[in-house]
């Protein structure tokens, strides 16, 4: 069953993370927003050492090894639940800086979702090394957008060398530059091994840093999350070993295929975590709004009938209710992930709701504070800019609405597009 009391290990971790957020993130939040593409190495190195000391080593959840004679059900799995609390707190500190936290990121999540045990051991151990290492996932293309079946990046097997040759271009790759140029990281590239097969031909390939033929061609200048690099990556006759393909090379032409399911399994794991970061940004904005209102003599009178409250009081209470409802959806979806339950619908619900909520709360906080909210003197306007990405990456709000509708109505992707 889902329990609403936060487990003690997570409470202790949250206390430490709050200290990091207050002392290492908030003081430099404005600086790295205004100095886009400058890398916050002090934060990165500290977090890397801290995660190594605690055994975390990566933002990707890992299985705790069972001791000899230990019962399988001795303690609950808390991997994704711990991550959700962790990322919510770090995003509360600064969403852009959270995205440069060292670890496997989406790349490691893709390996966890679609890789073999041997591949997980081979590729994920690098994130537990002495130096900070980053991982990324490259799926979006200039002509494809949210339509994953339109991917044109190709992977062709060279029988002479038993290597895959990748050609194509990927855009909006979060942490792409740090993964390929600033560390011994990796990028999981989605490509097609059979363009005529549509989604059935989609496969994920692990491309390591400094692979010949792989170039970071551009760094985006963005509205928000400016501390995080968002890169374009070009692959020109890039060769990767055969066993860098995650899953099987066999193409099975079925409506729901293993290649496409691998991509979706990655999103089922990561969408609730993106939702958690949205909650962190929304909570930061709402807390600051209440503090600023209190300084102006406005208090929220809980418990009164709604008709006796002021407009501002009603709006704040409504925002608190929205925030709580979104967080509960996150908790349910990560609990399901930890318990190996299918959570595609719940993951999309959490991502969709959180993206809506953070956009509405940050926008209204700016509006309610008027010139102070719009001023760069406070972080409200920055959080407003940071918020919008939560409704876009890891599947736009429109895509997640489609996914939820298909689950609720019992339609396939072909039936409802």
Encode pLDDT of 140-178 as tens digits.
999 877 677 788 999 999 999 999 999 999 999 999 999
Note whether 90 and 25 are within 8 A (CB): yes
Confidence at 74, pLDDT banded by 50, 70, 90: very low
Residue 315 designated active-site? no
State mean pLDDT over 69-98.
82
Cα distance between residue 208 and residue 247, in whole Å: 17
User: For the domain 258-409, what is the CATH code?
Assistant: 1.20.140.10
Q: Report which of 60, 52, 249, 222 is spatially closest to residue 137, judged by C-alpha positions.
A: 60
Q: What is the location of CATH 2.40.110.10 in the chain?
A: 135-246
Cα distance between residue 206 and residue 238, in whole Å: 11
Confidence at 25, pLDDT banded by 50, 70, 90: very high
Using only the alpha carbons of the chain, give its radius of gyration: 22
pLDDT exceeds 70 at position 4: yes
Confidence at 68, pLDDT banded by 50, 70, 90: low
Q: How far is CA 233 from CA 169, 203, 214, in A?
A: 6, 17, 7
What average pLDDT is seen over the chain? 90
Specify which residues 208 forms β-bridges with: 186
pLDDT exceeds 80 at position 209: yes
Specify which residues 192 forms β-bridges with: 154, 202
Using the 8-state DSSP alphabet, how is residue 134 labeled? B
pTM of the model: 0.90
pLDDT at 255: 46
- Packed helices 258-295 and 105-114: angle between N→C axes, nearest 10 degrees: 140
Cα distance between the two ends of the chain? 34
Model confidence pLDDT, tens digit, residues 211-247: 999 999 999 999 999 999 999 999 999 999 999 999 8
In CATH, which of 2.40.110.10, 3.20.20.70, 2.40.128.110, 2.60.120.260 is domain 135-246? 2.40.110.10
């Amino acid at each position: 069953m889902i329990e609403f009391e936060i487990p003690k290990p997570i409470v202790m971790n949250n206390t430490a993370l709050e200290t990091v957020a207050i002392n290492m993130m908030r003081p430099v939040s404005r600086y790295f927003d205004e100095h886009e593409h400058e890398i916050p190495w002090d934060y990165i190195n500290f977090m890397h050492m801290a995660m190594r000391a605690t055994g975390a080593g990566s933002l990707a959840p890992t299985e705790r090894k069972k001791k000899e004679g230990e019962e399988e059900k001795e303690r609950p799995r808390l991997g994704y639940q711990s991550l959700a609390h962790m990322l919510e707190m770090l995003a509360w500190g600064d969403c852009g800086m959270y995205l440069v936290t060292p670890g496997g990121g989406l790349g490691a999540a893709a390996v966890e979702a679609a890789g073999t045990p041997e591949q997980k051991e081979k590729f994920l151990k690098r994130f537990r090394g002495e130096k900070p290492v980053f991982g990324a996932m490259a799926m979006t293309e200039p002509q494809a957008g949210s339509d994953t079946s339109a991917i044109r990046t190709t992977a062709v097997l060279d029988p002479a060398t038993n290597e895959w040759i990748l050609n194509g271009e990927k855009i909006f790759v979060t942490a792409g530059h740090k993964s390929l140029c600033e560390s011994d990281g990796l990028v999981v590239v989605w490509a097609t091994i059979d363009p005529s097969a549509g989604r059935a031909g989609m496969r994920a390939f692990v491309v390591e840093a400094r692979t010949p033929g792989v170039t970071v061609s551009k760094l985006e200048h963005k509205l928000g999350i400016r501390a995080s690099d968002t890169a374009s990556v070009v692959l020109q006759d890039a060769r990767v070993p055969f066993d860098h393909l995650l899953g099987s090379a066999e193409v099975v032409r079925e409506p729901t295929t293993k290649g496409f399911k691998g991509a979706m399994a990655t999103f089922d794991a990561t969408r609730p975590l993106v939702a958690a970061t949205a909650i962190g940004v929304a909570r930061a904005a709402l807390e600051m709004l209440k503090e600023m209102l209190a300084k102006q003599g406005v208090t929220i009178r809980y418990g009164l009938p709604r008709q006796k409250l002021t407009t501002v009081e009603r709006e704040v209470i409504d925002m608190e209710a929205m925030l709580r409802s979104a967080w509960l959806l996150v908790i349910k979806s990560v609990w399901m992930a930890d318990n190996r339950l299918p959570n595609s619908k719940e993951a999309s619900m959490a991502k969709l709701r959180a993206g809506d909520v953070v956009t509405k709360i940050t926008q209204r906080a700016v509006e309610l504070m008027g010139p102070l909210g719009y001023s760069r003197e406070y972080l409200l306007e920055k959080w407003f800019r940071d918020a919008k990405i939560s409704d876009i990456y890891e599947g736009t709000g429109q895509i997640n609405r489609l996914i939820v509708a298909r689950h609720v109505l019992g339609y396939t992707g072909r039936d409802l597009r």
